[in-house]
Amino acid sequence: MIDLKFLRSYPDVVKENIKKKFQEHKLPLVDEVIELDAKARAVQTEADELRSNRNKLSKQIGALMGQGKKEEAEKIKTQVNDFAGRLAELEKQESELNAKITEIMMKIPNIVDASVPVGKDDSENVEVQRYGEPVVPNFEIPYHTDIMARFDGIDLDAAGRVAGNGFYYLMGDIARLHSSVIAYARDFMIDRGFTYCIPPFMIRSDVVTGVMSFEEMDAMMYKIEGEDLYLIGTSEHSMIGKFINTIIQEKELPKTLTSYSPCFRKEKGAHGIEERGVYRIHQFEKQEMIVVCKPEESMLWFEKLWQNTVDLFRSLDIPVRTLECCTGDLADLKVKSIDVEAWSPRQKKYFEVGSCSNLGDAQARRLKIRVQDENKNKYFAHTLNNTVVAPPRMLIAFLENNLMENGNVKIPKALQPYMGGKVELIAK
């Protein structure tokens, strides 16, 4: 959510940003906010004048009573009572107007960074750099679930009977590989100075609306029936929520945290054949990283965060590339975003395995996460998040890039201690 004062002062900038995001249907919202804001401020001005006059009259009543002029005091009391009725009416109007303004403001997209390329959707994202040499072996790479089946490592049929489509059982060496990747990612981030955290896996609605747009909320979140609780779609939600309604001392920044959690997503809509198996699912596990920092440091942390993911994948012999997300592919709260994509030798192309986002002060403004400097001045923090690894997709990249011609899967040196010293998985 952008600053109302900024919108009031620079409405044309806000409108131009909306156009860059190809959300022209939201342009009328800017004028609507300006009109409502003017009404709210007029109501506030009248209410403030009434309060001031009421206070003056109250002092007069006290003075008159002290002088024994009870009749005159009673007349002024009647006037004060009239003020009270009008004041209650104005306070109600002010509350309703401010609530409406907030509701609309939460639909207006954040101002994107000037460096973000303009484009309608993810087809116009821009490749930044490649890391590692993408290799297509001279033998056939099976579909990822077929590779897992060679190790008796997956059972989609049983999962379908138990929970329906979009779920899975991982077993044996594949399940162990999944857990090993999570454990390795945890230690990788701890070694880079991040504090490990296991957060709540459910959050309240005020946290949900603080960390994401209404569109994302509807498309992603599962609500717990009868309770003000939602299952998290990623641990970023509860990790940023950890700081709701807090004032952080500036000297404590940056807050650098890495978190493990299961994630739950609706994943609405139909998806292509390449997104079956464990590519797009309703439940998965993930290692995440989040940063809460000073505004002037957020772009430096943005560069560090996506680089962490690149370094982790390269340590496991997986070629990756980075993509700059264009304006139309940015969620409304995001200022700037980089996707990390892993090489698929089977598809002979890259696919998304993680996303790094700088949200500026949008989440902090919604959640009231403030920083206090040494002079007691307060300002909103900046928040960032990035995927370390999400093993279902990461497993696809891992298995395809480490599959050998004999059907076995090699275990990179970095992961071997987490796999009991195994150097490869032996196909059955």
Q: What is the pLDDT of residue 53?
A: 75
> Interior CA angle at 386 toward 385 and 388, to 5°?
140
In this prediction, residues 21-42 reach a mean pLDDT of 96
For the stretch 121-149, pLDDT in tens is 999 999 999 999 999 999 999 999 999 99
Distance of alpha carbon 100 from its chain centroid, rounded? Answer: 24
Q: Tokens in use for 347?
A: 């598809």
Domain end position, chosen among 61, 77, 105 = 105
Domain membership of residue 310 as a residue range: 122-425
pLDDT of residue 270 exceeding 50, the answer is no
Number of domains in the chain: 2
pLDDT of residue 269 exceeding 60, the answer is no
Assess whether 406 and 341 both reside in one domain: yes
Assess whether 205 and 307 both reside in one domain: yes
User: What is the rounded CA–CA span in Å between residue 401 and residue 131?
Assistant: 14
For residue 291, which of 252, 342, 247 has the smallest C-alpha distance? Answer: 252
Q: 380: which strand partners?
A: 370
3-state secondary structure of 418: helix
Burial class (CB in 10 A: 0-12, 13-18, 19+), 134: middle
Assess whether 97 and 205 both reside in one domain: no
For residue 222, which of 256, 268, 182 has the smallest C-alpha distance? Answer: 268
On whether the CB atoms of residues 271 and 280 are closer than 8 A, the answer is yes
Residue 25 domain-assigned?
A: yes
Q: Angle between the 391-402 and 172-191 helix axes, to the nearest 10 degrees?
A: 110
Assess whether 395 and 246 both reside in one domain: yes
Assess whether 134 and 101 both reside in one domain: no
Residue 115 domain-assigned?
A: no
Arithmetic mean of pLDDT over the chain: 92
In this prediction, residues 232-249 reach a mean pLDDT of 96
pLDDT of residue 275 exceeding 60, the answer is no
Residue 404 domain-assigned?
A: yes
Q: Beta-carbon neighbour count of residue 354 at 10 Å?
A: 29
> Band of the pLDDT at 1, cuts 50, 70, 90?
confident
Assess whether 268 and 312 both reside in one domain: yes
For residue 210, which of 187, 247, 240 has the smallest C-alpha distance? Answer: 240
Assess whether 33 and 68 both reside in one domain: yes
Domain end position, chosen among 105, 138, 169 = 105
Q: What is the pLDDT of residue 80?
A: 66
Q: How far apart are the first and last CA of the chain?
A: 54
For the entire predicted model, the pTM comes to 0.88
Helix (H) or strand (E) holding 312: helix 298-315
User: What is the rounded CA–CA span in Å between residue 246 and residue 253?
Assistant: 13
We report the CATH number of the domain holding residue 398 as: 3.30.930.10
Identify which has the larger pLDDT, 204 or 75.
Answer: 204
Assess whether 142 and 94 both reside in one domain: no
Is the CA virtual torsion 80, 81, 86, 89 positive or negative?
Answer: positive
Q: Tokens in use for 411?
A: 């275990």
Residue 261 domain-assigned?
A: yes
On whether the CB atoms of residues 382 and 255 are closer than 8 A, the answer is no
Q: What percent of the chain has pLDDT over 90?
A: 81
Domain end position, chosen among 80, 105, 130 = 105
pLDDT of residue 274 exceeding 60, the answer is no
Is the CA virtual torsion 210, 211, 213, 216 positive or negative?
Answer: negative
Cα-based distances in Å from 205 to 219, 267, 293? 15, 19, 24
Assess whether 22 and 56 both reside in one domain: yes
Lowest mean pLDDT among 6-20, 157-171, 269-283: 269-283
In this prediction, residues 107-118 reach a mean pLDDT of 96
Residue 257 domain-assigned?
A: yes
We report the CATH number of the domain holding residue 9 as: 1.10.287.40
Q: Beta-carbon neighbour count of residue 296 at 10 Å?
A: 8
- Provide φ and ψ at 328, rounded to 5°: -75, -15
Amino acid occupying residue 198: I
Assess whether 240 and 94 both reside in one domain: no
pLDDT of residue 27 exceeding 90, the answer is yes
Burial class (CB in 10 A: 0-12, 13-18, 19+), 226: exposed
Residue 414 domain-assigned?
A: yes
Residue 117 domain-assigned?
A: no
Residue 112 domain-assigned?
A: no
Q: What is the pLDDT of residue 336?
A: 98
Assess whether 373 and 285 both reside in one domain: yes
Assess whether 46 and 167 both reside in one domain: no
